[in-house]
Amino acid sequence: MKPNIKPTKKKLKTRVPRVLLIFPTSIIACRWMLRGILRYVHQNGPWELHIIEDREGEQKLRQTKAWDGTGIIGYVHNKAHAKAVLSAKLPAVIVDPLKEYLTPSNPISNLNRVSCDSFEIGRIAADYFLERHYSNFAFIGEINNIHWSRDRSEAFAARVKEKGFTCHIYPSLTRHERNDFGIEQKRLCKWLTKLPKPVAIMAAWDTRGRQVIDACMQAGIAVPQEAAVLSVDNDEILCETTNPPMSSIEMGAEEACYQAAKVLDTLMRVGKEALGKHVITYGAVRIVTRRSTEAIRIDDPLIVKALEFIWINVGTPMTVADVARHLNVSRRLLEIHTRKALGRTVHNEILRVRLDRAQALLRDTSQTINEISYACGFAGASHFGRRFKEAFQVTPSSFRANNIKYRQLLKQELIMPVYDYEAKEPKKSCPHCKDGFEITQRIKDPSLTTCPKCGNPVFKVITAPAIGRSKSKLDDRAKNAGFTKLKKISKGEYEKMY
């Protein structure tokens, strides 16, 4: 929910605002929050920022008052953070504070804040499963049973109860279990095994969801056939690397903290009295469905094993005969069971899984089309291209070019400065480095010490990095970087230039 800030006459700044940001960046939601704040600063700054990430070895900022700042935006989840915010006596916006800090007697409750609507998250998760006609439900919370986990549990259970169903709640953990998943996993596996199947499981957040899927695999419970798992935060690194990939609820934390930065900016300009108190709430933006909650529930154990084999071998050339051989059944019997359970052939299921993986790699990585084709088990780029276009009526290159996430990735990884290097001993060097060469590198990359062609010592020429300009030809640099150039000859026909 955006704050309703009335337009006020802006005062001229007498100094660059110094803002303290308190966000544990190991948590994906906090990284999204930081991104929202930094986007606001980029558009409306400058601000001088000091970020506390709560990581090991980090230099703290204990004397916030002596730091001489002008504002704070902070994730207040412990007494140290609360004390730092209050002792600074600066304009502040707090993010997702503990409920104990929101009692009227606590001075933290008087500050502007950003709050997650965890009740909405729980209800949305329940509705997601109810629409898929599940009748068995379970909730597995955050290990410390923190307030937002309790809220999601309560809302999830209440919603399924409204529809006449019961929700199984995973019990609280002992101190030893909280400190060691190896100890807890045995109890979690046993509890999951006893649940009625098929069951729809909501995990409080992605870290917990990953543990649930791992425990299901350990206990021999097929996901999603016996247990469908949905978590919260949509941390792509976690969600895309579980087996199978995990569905998750993406939240609007970035936009909420963009608005928080807007509130703080106004506070620093006109003061609390002119602005009043604001509470910014955020909830679910969308549910990203992956294989852990695929709608089709399969009762045939043969097909469950076949799908698992196909999934774990998606990057390897694989035939229907390979699948039948693994299951120790005839190809004909496998086809009969597959058509009955899935409504398609084994070959088509293999192709579907490969193309799903290909779409993710095209969208989320900068790998070449050729690399992706082999990573997904295709015979080569041309074979991959034909199959992809047959399925989606668009080429892999066009799919990638039209994807926003890939365009953002290009900006981050591929638009890089051009640096000059020269050989330390030209007489002993190859033609590539003898008269000097250029190379594109990220600014944070270490300087080259040897020629990439001959391995002889080189040094970087101290000049200003060139972005988008170079004395060498663009085609030469593109070719050296591994790009392919195609020239259109006629409709649908292209000639490879390099």
CATH number at residue 164: 3.40.50.2300
Chain Cα centroid distance, residue 327: 35
476 in a structural domain: yes
CATH number at residue 317: 1.10.10.60
Contact 309, 328 (CB under 8 A): no
Same domain (yes/no): 198, 315: no
The pLDDT of residue 465 is 40
The DSSP secondary structure of 29-50, one letter per residue, reads HHHHHHHHHHHHHHHH---EEE
Question: What does the buried/exposed string (b/e) look like for 306-342 if buried means 16 or more CB atoms within 10 Å of the residue's CB?
Answer: bbbebbebbeeebebebbbebbebeeeebbebbeebb
pLDDT tens-digit series, residues 230-264: 999 999 889 988 988 999 999 999 999 999 999 99
For 82-141, what is each residue's pLDDT tens digit? 887 888 888 899 998 888 888 888 888 888 889 999 999 999 999 999 988 898 999 999
pLDDT score of 289: 85
User: For 5, left (φ over 0), alpha (ψ -120 to 50), or beta?
Assistant: beta
Whether residue 93 is found in the same domain as residue 64: yes
**Nearest CA-CA partner of 140 in 227, 78, 225:** 227
Verify that 487 and 425 share a domain, yes or no: yes
234 plus 140 within the same structural domain: yes
CA–CA separation, 81 and 111 (whole Å): 14
**Domain boundary pick from 367, 390, 408:** 408
Alpha helices in 89-133 (DSSP H): 118-130
pLDDT < 70: residue spans in the chain: 1-14, 60-65, 271-276, 295-298, 404-419, 440-445, 462-498
Task: Answer for the pair 396, 352: CB distance below 8 angstroms, yes or no.
Answer: no
Q: Is residue 217 part of a domain?
A: yes
Whether 244 and 127 map to the same domain: the answer is yes
Tell which of 357, 381, 408 closes a domain.
408
What string of DSSP letters covers 372-406? HHHHTT-SSHHHHHHHHHHHHSS-HHHHHHT-HHH
Residues 112 and 124 grouped into a single domain:
no
Rg (CA), the chain: 28
Does residue 108 share a domain with residue 24? yes
Q: Percentages helix, strand, coil for the chain, rounded to the nearest 5?
A: 45, 15, 40
Tell me the β-bridge partners of 282.
116
Q: How many domains does the chain have?
A: 4
Q: Would you tell me the crossing angle of helices 346-364 and 404-413 to the nearest 10 degrees?
A: 50
**Per the domain annotation, does 443 fall within a domain?**
yes
* Closest C-alpha to 19, from 45, 54, 43, 56: 45
In a shared domain, residues 443 and 343: no
Strands 247-251 and 279-282: unpaired
Residues 227 and 137 in one domain: yes
Going by C-alpha positions, the residue among 285, 272, 262 that lies closest to residue 4 is 262
Final residue in a domain of this structure, among 341, 375, 408: 408
Residue 7, in any domain of the structure: no
Note down the domain range covering 82.
18-117+253-285
- How many whole angstroms separate alpha carbon 37 and alpha carbon 461? 37
Taking a C-beta distance cutoff of 8 angstroms, is the pair 328, 363 a contact?
Answer: no
Tokens 């593109």 sit at which residue?
478
In a domain, 46, yes or no: yes
Q: Do 137 and 240 share a structural domain?
A: yes
- Our CA angle for 44, 38, 78, nearest 5°, is 125
Residue 415 confidence (pLDDT):
43
With beta carbons less than 8 A apart as the criterion, state whether 115 and 129 touch. Answer: no
- 130 domain residue, yes or no: yes
For helices 181-194 and 206-219, the axis angle rounded to 10 degrees is 70
Q: Domain for residue 5, yes or no?
A: no
> Are residues 3 and 34 in contact, defined by beta-carbon separation less than 8 angstroms?
no
Q: Is residue 384 part of a domain?
A: yes
Residues 123 and 87 in one domain: no
Q: According to the model, what pLDDT value does residue 37 have? A: 92
- The residue count of the chain comes to 498
pTM above 0.85, yes or no: no
Residues 365 and 457 in one domain: no
At 488, is the secondary structure helix, strand, or coil? strand
